[in-house]
Amino acid sequence: MTDSILETDGLTKEFRGFIAVNGVSLKVRRGSIHGLIGPNGAGKTTCFNLLTKFLQPTRGTIRYDGRDITGMKPAEVARLGLVRSFQISAVFPHLSVLENVRMALQRQRGGSFDFWRSDSLLRSFDDRAMALLEDVGLTSYARIAAGELPYGRKRALEIATTMAMDPAMMLLDEPTAGMTHEDVDRIVALVKRVSAGRTVLLVEHNLKVVSGLCDRITVLARGSVLAEGDYGEVSRNPDVVAAYLGTEAPPEGAMAHG
């Protein structure tokens, strides 16, 4: 028996008759980095929204860490340690990088935003916040306003604020989207580092990132699971190559990188 931290069975989401996610049964092994890939519109983000309970499934069940979480609210699921990386909009641009992480730590402890807490209490989170910033390579940016960070560093901050919740399982939706090569390499190293002792489910279009990070990969296409396996297996799968290229005669090694 493999030790799955997350298991879905027949997960389905319909939007007014349109089936965005169709009978997805997914098993994510504890401690692994699991990739969820597929062409645009395949249903990857919808899956994430179902898993974190931002959307209620039309059908199917979700089990996390031995519990049925299908009927839970997003905050309950987050408290159980299943956390989706915050979107950039969740970063407060006028607060410093350090203050953003401190807020995230405080939110983790106190539940809701509380702007009335004393400065000294907030400062008690500083050591932990600085440690997190070091983890994501942002130490030298600590005093800079978050809004002034270069794009790639904003994603690193987003990961730091997610880490502040100390999630057992982290969901990352396209963490390298729109990044330069250099930033991509940094995020790959970062995801590797922060994945120690956690499980990561990663949606990613950059296949070089997927091959470098993921232990196992599920390929979605038009809402359904098309293939599953390690990178070598799914990248050689003709159905997968065809889904990516939208062609019947995929060239050899169409998904190969490096």
Ligand X SMILES: Nc1ncnc2c1ncn2[C@@H]1O[C@H](COP(=O)(O)OP(=O)(O)OP(=O)(O)O)[C@@H](O)[C@H]1O
Binding region for ligand X (CB under 6 A): 15, 18, 20, 38, 40-46
Which position among 7, 9, 19, 45 is part of the footprint of Mg ion (CB under 5 A)? 45
Only one of the segments 42-50, 70-78, 180-188, 244-252 lies at the binding site for Mg ion (rule: CB under 5 A); that segment is 42-50
Q: Phi, psi (5° rounding) for residue 61?
A: -130, 155
CA dist 100 and 92 (Å) reads 6
CB of 8 to Mg ion, least distance (A): 17
228 neighbors 222 (Cβ within 8 angstroms)? no
User: Which is nearer to Mg ion, 42 or 101 (by Cβ)?
Assistant: 42
Residue 25 found at the interface with Mg ion (CB under 5 A): no
7: left (phi over 0), alpha (psi -120 to 50) or beta: beta
Question: CA-to-CA distance for 153 and 165, rounded, in angstroms?
Answer: 19
> Whole-number minimum distance, CB 158 to ligand X, in Å?
17
Which of Mg ion, ligand X, none does residue 116 bind to, with CB < 5 to 8 Å depending on kind?
A: none
Compute CA 92 distance to the chain's CA centroid, rounded to the nearest angstrom: 20
Identify which of residues 44 and 102 has a Cβ nearer to Mg ion in the complex. 44
> Which strand (E) or helix (H) includes residue 4?
strand 4-15
Instruction: In whole angstroms, give the CA distance from residue 113 to residue 164.
Output: 14
Least Å distance, CB 167 to Mg ion, is: 20
Residues 179, 251: Cα–Cα separation, whole Å: 27
Q: How far apart are CA 13 and CA 49, in angstroms?
A: 10
- Residue with smaller CB distance to ligand X, 60 or 104: 60
Residue whose beta carbon is closest to Mg ion: 45
224 is a site residue for Mg ion (CB under 5 A): no
Q: Which is nearer to Mg ion, 146 or 220 (CB)?
A: 220
The count of residues interacting with Mg ion (CB under 5 A) is: 2
Out of ligand X, Mg ion, none, what residue 40 binds, judged by CB under 5 to 8 A for its kind, is ligand X
Residues interacting with Mg ion, by CB under 5 A? 44-45
